[in-house]
């Protein structure tokens, strides 16, 4: 086990992420701390970092260093972005941090900042083609992803802080100011030769402004899931949020539900940059990312490679299996049997979409709740799956997987349709019940946790489904336990269930 720290010295805030690296390079975030220092604000007339903000940064980094020592961190990776990158007193600041705190700061060029944004997202989202935007305090990165490859990127010298200062956006925005703001931003977009080639892809948003847009949307729509990673909204709603904010002054913006009071004073300009990009390219969707530069650094450290993961979901699931100290062999055995059952029974499942990812997630993580307590572990598994960051799944897929896992022992775990009506419906509940019975059968077929059943095959008859199992030793107990699901199976599929042993 090893613990590392990532310190991200941004133009608006300084963030610390503590990461524990476990066996087989699984990892988990064990702490996150943020301090709003605003190094990019009140720059001196010579373009230097403001002395008072340097002092606050030093105090923040000193606190972070103490926290790292208390948590047993053995390696600190500290990076700085636009505010330090452009500061005339950059070297003085870096040397002071090194001499006083023994922390080495690497100043990232804009291309590296964009790359880490790309690497953090391509390894945490199931996206093929997209345009990424990361709006920081003093810079904005645009990254064009095509076939999961970084095709082009650029760092623009404007962000939430310097747009606010340049256009005095603390008060209600009048038409002239709005025109000046949008013209300024648009002129930068037009100078990017490749940007106008980006068409019909989602905009993936990174950073505090994007997260706050999502939080406002979530409050407005009474969205029941708190995880912002992979939250989706429309360009139309982003424009509505921007229009609502622009007719309010700084004090009134603080009352907008979902908008952080710390960000209310610098929200408008950055939101304007998002709206202008939507208008310029005609894009329709915003995908919110909870990952960015820091996660890009983490993945680079873990993978020891600049090649993106081939299977984002598989890597994420395996990470959870290892972190929750699950029985890896049992999880994969149940999945092997369930996958076979799913493929063999597709004709009677009568579902119109491919629910493979949902079933795989639910099956492999069905026992994760044992880490909390064996008793009622199916309920604990629901909470863990529903509330964890499982990369590669949409919110709906993750919620359905949580319910499938929760039903792997009993069929009396109730789906809260009233709470989740904005995400799932009655038809989805039918799918959940069908997938869950497959997991229950296969969980029981490995009740000895010894992979005794080597393979299964199914025959579907007019009123019967016959599952034949091949095994290493007599499977009478596994079959007996699996047949406890027969009544539920018949209720769901209208067919009797027969499970029999066949020659090995």
- Write a three-state SS string for 235-276: HHHHHHHHHHHHCCCHHHHCCCCCCCCCCHHHHHHHHHHHHH
Residue 397 has pLDDT above 80, yes or no: yes
Of 439, 313, 451, 426, give the one whose Cα is nearest residue 382: 439
How many Å apart are CA 439 and CA 332, to the nearest integer? Answer: 12
Dump pLDDT digits (tens) for 257-277. 999 999 999 999 999 999 999
Least confident range of 37-41, 234-238, 408-412: 408-412
351 pLDDT above the threshold of 90? no
What's the pLDDT tens digit per position in 277-317? 999 999 999 999 999 999 999 999 999 988 999 999 999 99
Residue 498 confidence (pLDDT) above 70: yes
Listed in sequence order, the residues at least 6 apart from 362 whose beta carbon sits closer than 8 Å to its beta carbon are: 385, 400, 401, 402, 404, 405, 408, 435, 436, 439
**Percent share of the chain, pLDDT over 90:** 95
- Cβ burial of 109 (10 Å; 0-12, 13-18, 19+) is exposed
Per-residue pLDDT tens over the stretch 186-223: 999 999 999 999 999 999 999 999 999 999 999 999 99
Cross-strand pairs, 92: none
Cβ count near 405 (within 10 Å): 31
Report the mean per-residue pLDDT for the chain. 95
Given a cut of 90, whether residue 478 has pLDDT beyond it is yes
d(CA 93, CA 101): 12
**b/e sequence 159-175, b meaning 16+ C-beta within 10 Å:** bbbbbbbebebbeebee
pLDDT tens, 460-476?
999 999 999 999 999 99
**Residue 481 and residue 488: Cα distance in Å, rounded?**
13
Q: Is the pLDDT of residue 504 over 70?
A: no
pLDDT value of position 502: 86
Q: Is the pLDDT of residue 354 over 90?
A: no
277 within 8 A of 162, measured Cβ to Cβ: no
Angle at the Cα of 397 from the Cα atoms of 396 and 400, rounded to 5 degrees: 85
Q: State residue 503's pLDDT score.
A: 63
Residue 484 CA, chain-centre distance (Å), reads: 38
Residue 180 pLDDT greater than 80, yes or no: yes
- Bridge partners (DSSP) listed for residue 305: none
| CB-based contacts of 112, cutoff 8 Å, min separation 6 | none
Domains and CATH numbers, the chain: 2-107 (3.30.420.40), 111-290 (3.30.420.150), 312-501 (1.10.3210.10)
| pTM, two decimal places | 0.94
149-156 vs 285-288, strand pairing mode: unpaired
pLDDT, one tens digit per residue, over 86-118 is 999 999 999 999 999 999 999 999 999 999 999
Per the structure block, which two tokens stand in for 207?
């950073």
pLDDT at 353: 84
């Amino acid at each position: 086990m090893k613990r590392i720290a990532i310190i991200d010295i941004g133009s608006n805030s300084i963030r610390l992420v503590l990461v524990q690296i476990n066996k087989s390079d699984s990892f988990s975030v064990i702490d996150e701390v943020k301090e709003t220092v605003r190094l990019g604000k009140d720059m001196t007339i010579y373009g230097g970092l403001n002395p008072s903000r340097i002092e606050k940064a030093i105090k923040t980094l000193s606190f972070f260093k103490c926290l790292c020592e208390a948590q047993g961190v053995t390696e600190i990776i500290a990076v700085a972005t636009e505010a330090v990158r452009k500061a005339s007193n950059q070297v003085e600041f870096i040397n002071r941090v090194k001499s006083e705190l023994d922390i080495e700061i690497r100043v990232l060029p804009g291309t590296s900042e964009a790359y880490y944004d790309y690497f953090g997202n391509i390894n945490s989202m199931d996206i093929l083609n997209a345009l990424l935007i990361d709006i920081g305090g003093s810079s904005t990165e645009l990254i064009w992803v095509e076939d999961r490859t970084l095709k082009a990127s650029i760092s623009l010298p404007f962000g939430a802080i310097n747009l606010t200062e340049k256009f005095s956006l603390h008060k209600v925005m009048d038409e002239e100011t709005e025109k000046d703001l949008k013209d300024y931003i648009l002129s930068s977009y037009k100078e990017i030769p490749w940007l106008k080639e980006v068409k019909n892809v989602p905009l993936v948003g990174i950073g505090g402004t994007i997260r706050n847009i999502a939080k406002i949307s979530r409050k407005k729509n009474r969205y029941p899931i708190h995880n912002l990673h992979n939250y989706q909204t429309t360009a139309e709603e982003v424009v509505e949020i921007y229009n609502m904010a622009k007719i309010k002054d700084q004090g009134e913006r603080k009352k907008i539900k979902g908008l952080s009071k710390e960000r209310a004073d610098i929200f408008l300009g950055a939101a304007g940059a998002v709206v202008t990009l939507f208008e310029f390219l005609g894009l329709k969707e915003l995908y919110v990312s909870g990952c960015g530069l820091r996660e890009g650094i983490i993945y680079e450290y873990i993978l020891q490679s600049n090649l993106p993961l081939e299977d984002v979901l598989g890597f994420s699931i395996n990470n959870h299996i290892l972190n929750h100290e699950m029985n890896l062999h049992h999880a994969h055995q149940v999945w092997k049997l369930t996958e076979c059952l799913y493929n063999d029974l597709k004709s009677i499942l009568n579902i119109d979409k491919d629910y493979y990812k949902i079933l795989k997630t639910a099956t492999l993580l069905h026992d994760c709740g044992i880490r909390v307590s064996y008793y009622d572990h199916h309920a604990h598994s629901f909470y863990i799956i529903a509330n964890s960051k499982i990369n590669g799944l949409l919110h709906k897929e993750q919620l359905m997987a949580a319910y499938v896992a929760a039903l792997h022992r009993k069929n009396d775990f109730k789906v809260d349709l009233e709470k989740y009506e904005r995400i799932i419906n009655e038809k989805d509940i039918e799918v959940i019940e069908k997938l869950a019975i497959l997991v229950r059968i296969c969980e029981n077929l490995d009740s000895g946790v010894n992979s005794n059943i080597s393979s299964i095959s199914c025959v579907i008859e007019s009123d019967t489904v016959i599952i034949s199992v091949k095994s290493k030793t007599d499977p009478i107990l596994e079959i007996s336990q699996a047949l406890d699901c027969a009544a539920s199976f018949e209720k769901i599929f209208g067919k009797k269930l027969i499970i029999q042993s066949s020659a090995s």
